Amino acid sequence: MAHLILVRHGHSAWNKLDLWTGHTDVPLAEEGYAEARRAGEALRDITIHTVHVSHLIRTHETARELLRAHGTETELLPYAALNERHYGVHTGKNKWEIKAMIGENAFTRIRRGWNEPIPEGETLKDVHARVVPHYQTHVLSHLRAGRNVLVVSHGNTLRALIKHLDALDTHEVEGVEVATGSVHCYEIDSTGSILRKEVRS
């Protein structure tokens, strides 16, 4: 048996300002470091063998702080497939100002919908199409071999992966919330099947 651990990066400087961040490389805010430390403490009973992060600094900072709190030193392996959803023309804009401009229904579809397009950006379906192959190619073999894998990524990227892992339909995934610093732990057997899931923080 092995553990797949999914952690959303800690609160970032743009999270504080309610800005759509996407691929913008924004560092953690101070509370983000505190969230990372809490995540590390919540995982002290699990050995961390491998750590996958996105190319964005907020996941690197979260992973390093988490590992310090956990008492583990290991290499961070960055993958573009784990990057946040690209918000296209909305990148850097205030979410609530956009909501006031386009209305609540359109705003909810953009934020939560499965295949709602953003000009010059990605849908959640697009993110799913890159993160699931990453899991199948780069993560699953470690889990089948009994090695625990920590994935530190982003809200939408983890929502897309959770859709796959939990076998959710396109409507169910709209209700999935992954808070900053939250820890989603899966127990995986040698066939790659999920035995149990828990959310630790």
Q: What is the pLDDT of residues 116-167, one digit of tens each?
A: 999 999 999 999 999 999 999 999 999 999 999 999 999 999 999 999 999 9
**Residue 65 bears catalytic tag:** no
Instruction: Provide the whole-model pTM.
Output: 0.96
165: number of CA atoms within 13 Å, CB side? 27
Distance CA 6, CA 200 (A): 10
29: left (phi over 0), alpha (psi -120 to 50) or beta: beta
- Cross-strand bridge partners of residue 184: 6, 199
Counted domains in the chain: 1
Domain, as residue range, for 138: 2-199
SS3 for 92?
coil
List residues bridging with 119 in a β-sheet: none
Place of tokens 């497939």: 81
CATH number at residue 6: 3.40.50.1240
Check 60, 84, 154, 184 and give the catalytic one. 84
The pLDDT assigned to 98 comes to 93
And the tokens for 58?
């907020």
- Tokens 């961070």 map to which residue? 76
Residue 84 a catalytic site member:
yes
76 pLDDT above the threshold of 90: yes
> In the chain, how many H helices and how many E strands?
8, 6
Neighbours of 133 (CB within 10 A): 11
Instruction: Tell me what pLDDT residue 201 has.
Output: 76
**Candidate list 9, 11, 90, 184, residue with the active-site label:** 9
Distance CA 19, CA 9 (A): 15
Count of other CB atoms within 10 angstroms of residue 128: 22
Find the distance separating the first CA and the last CA of the chain, reported in whole Å: 22
What's the confidence (pLDDT) of residue 126? Answer: 98
Average pLDDT over residues 90-96: 96
- Model pLDDT for residues 165-191, shown as the tens digit of each residue: 999 999 999 999 999 999 999 999 999
CA distance 68 to 62: 10
d(CA 165, CA 171): 15
DSSP string across 102-140: H-HHHHHHHHH-SS---TTS--HHHHHHHHHHHIIIIIH
Is the distance from CB of 68 to CB of 92 less than 8 angstroms? no
Average pLDDT, the chain: 97
User: What percent of the chain is predicted at pLDDT more than 70?
Assistant: 100
